[in-house]
Amino acid sequence: MIENEHSRKHEDRINTTERDSPLKALPYRDSVIFPDNEKHFLAVGIGDRVVVRELCEYPINWETKNLLAMTSAAVERLGDAPDSLWKHRAQINCLLDLRVYLPCYRGLNSSIVPILRAGLAESEYGNLRAFIRGELTRLLKEQVLQGGPTHFFDINEMQEIPELAVHVPRILELRKKEIQGVTLIDRDGVIDLRSIIMTAWGFELVHALGLGLETDAEGCDAIQRKLYELDLEVKISTNEGDTSHLARMGIGLSQYIKSLFK
């Protein structure tokens, strides 16, 4: 399927001028640039669809046109996708494609679609990156202030960013509170670790110990020993009704975290 605001026009153009090219079956994230009547177009594969953009829509240099067109394609796909693992990974990839990096970006618990839509109005690549970075910083600060998850928030790196460094004490407070609220469920000797990896410190600890989504008594003891060093511990229960007090976390981020243990 070929689509954008002029989908039929572009579909006709591709059918007549690109009949012998691999454009119709373009793999995900692959792209093809092609000319037509002194204009250039970029086709980007985004799974089951191909999005076509007229590169001369953007009055900036050639390299930036390519990046902006890719971003535009990603925005369309993200706008339609459910809140899922795929969507969270796509957000990360989109930021990396634009060379926008913050030490916390993988832990963003909200959608970047509004940021990208607004950012596409910028006429210069440098302005675009600065805009997106500023908006990401704002969302990350809001996430901390609202008591949200702090996975992937690197404290050492955050200390180098003044607007984020001021929130480090709050992050440490949230992480301690998370651990104190965890209850691990023991099912006949098989201990479910899903609740603890949904905390920032628990995630780092389970990952460092090389454990998965479940463990046994030995693995649980290893977790407890490490937590004792922080003057913390988690509760263990055989009652399925016991639930943990966890930070509010979107489905996309939670699925992304669990996927790292499979």
Q: How far is CA 50 from the centre of its chain?
A: 22
Beta bridge partners of 40: 35
pLDDT of residue 186: 92
Average pLDDT on 24-53 reads 60
Residue whose C-alpha is closest to residue 259's, from 191, 220, 213? 213
The three-state secondary structure class of 154 is: coil
Amino acid residing at 63: E
Going through 88-242 in order, the beta strands assigned E by DSSP cover 183-187, 190-192, 214-215, 235-237
Average pLDDT on 131-141 reads 91
Structure-block tokens of residue 230: 């922080």
The three-state secondary structure class of 11 is: helix
pTM above 0.85, yes or no: no
pLDDT class for 28, splitting at 50, 70, 90? Answer: low
Q: Where is pLDDT greater, at 99 or 23?
A: 99
Digit-coded pLDDT (tens) for 69-109? 677 777 777 777 767 787 888 788 778 777 777 878 899 99
Let me know: does 227 contact 205? Beta carbons within 8 Å.
yes
- Name the region of 187 (left: φ>0; alpha: ψ -120 to 50; beta: rest): beta
Distance CA 168, CA 101 (A): 19
pLDDT of residue 153: 93
Q: How many Å is the maximal CA-CA distance in the chain?
A: 70
Digit-coded pLDDT (tens) for 190-214? 999 999 999 999 999 999 999 999 9
What is the average pLDDT score of the chain? 77
Distance CA 153, CA 144 (A): 10
Let me know: does 246 contact 177? Beta carbons within 8 Å.
no
